[in-house]
Amino acid sequence: MDLKARLADVDARIVDAARSAGRDPSELTRIVVTKFHPASLIAELRALGVRDVGENRQQELTAKRGDPAVAALGLRWHFIGQGQTNKVRAIRAAADVVHSVDRARLADALDRAGDEGAPVLDVLLQVNLTADPGRGGVAPDGVEQLAAHVAASCPTLRVRGVMGVAPLDEEPAAAFARLAATGESVRRVVPDARWISAGMTGDFAEAIAAGATHLRIGSAITGPRPVHG
């Protein structure tokens, strides 16, 4: 299968999963994760109608967004990787949505990194769905407090919802159900924060069934990632 066929196949599977869950496929945003692939692949994706792309490393995001092959294509860039406070200026300059806000310090730094008159930045609160506190994301019982902090203290950020990655050692449906519950706790603080970023190549159907609104799909569409040193 080539890129076009893989994209069409994934989109058909998204529609199937949405219909089986009694959901309208048009309410789902399919983000193509292009990490490790060249900007030329993003240009090919754009020609196939893709608008939303995701990157997990700031340097790669910055380089690709500034690449002449894609700069004028009107893409929406999603930063889905671990955020470092010393990179917030570059993240903010290159991302339209940041999916990985998982601590107050990072939110504060992102907030301060906005230039005068910069547009409000859409952010998602990343939830750690594993039992390992060392993984990225805020623990589920800390999400509401983080939402309250961002809403009260970060005027240039807009909390849109939650993001999560299903652990490898658990049924994705169970993990995504927990993520949806944390989304509800965020809405006690920010009532219109309805986005749920969940679902990758291996589990996007389960994520759709659990209410995901933003799917982050890489290899099923792009093919295997180039080996990276």
Ligand X SMILES: *Cc1c(COP(=O)(O)O)cnc(C)c1O
Nearer to ligand X, 189 or 198 (CB): 198
What is the rounded CA–CA span in Å between residue 170 and residue 174? 7
x/- binding map, residues 69-108, to ligand X, per CB under 6 A?
-----------x----------------------------
Q: Give least dist CB 201 to ligand X, A.
A: 3
Place of tokens 């997990």: 56
Kindly state the number of chain residues that form the binding site for ligand X, as judged by CB under 6 A: 13
**Span of 8-16, 140-148, 188-196, 212-220 interacting with ligand X by CB under 6 A:** 212-220
Nearer to ligand X, 79 or 193 (CB): 79
CA torsion through residues 44, 50, 55, 59, sign: positive
What is the rounded CA–CA span in Å between residue 108 and residue 105? 5
Q: Give least dist CB 81 to ligand X, A.
A: 6
* Residue showing the smallest CB distance to ligand X in the complex: 218
- Those residues with Cβ within 8 angstroms of residue 210's Cβ, 6 or more apart along the chain or in another chain: 173, 176, 177, 179, 180, 196, 198
157-164 and 195-197 strand pairing? parallel
Looking at residue 113, its amino acid is: A
Instruction: Indicate whether 217 belongs to the interface with ligand X (CB under 6 A).
Output: yes
Cα 51 to Cα 45, 82, 183, distances in angstroms: 8, 23, 25
Instruction: Indicate whether 219 belongs to the interface with ligand X (CB under 6 A).
Output: yes
Looking at residue 63, its amino acid is: A
Instruction: Indicate whether 156 belongs to the interface with ligand X (CB under 6 A).
Output: no
Nearer to ligand X, 139 or 148 (CB): 139
Q: Give least dist CB 76 to ligand X, A.
A: 16
The tokens describing 31, both together, are: 């983000």
Helices then strands, counting H and E runs in the chain, come out as 9, 8
x/- binding map, residues 37-66, to ligand X, per CB under 6 A?
-------------------x----------
Nearer to ligand X, 66 or 202 (CB): 202
The tokens describing 197, both together, are: 């970023």
The site for ligand X (CB under 6 A) is made up of 33, 35, 56, 80, 165, 200-202, 216-220
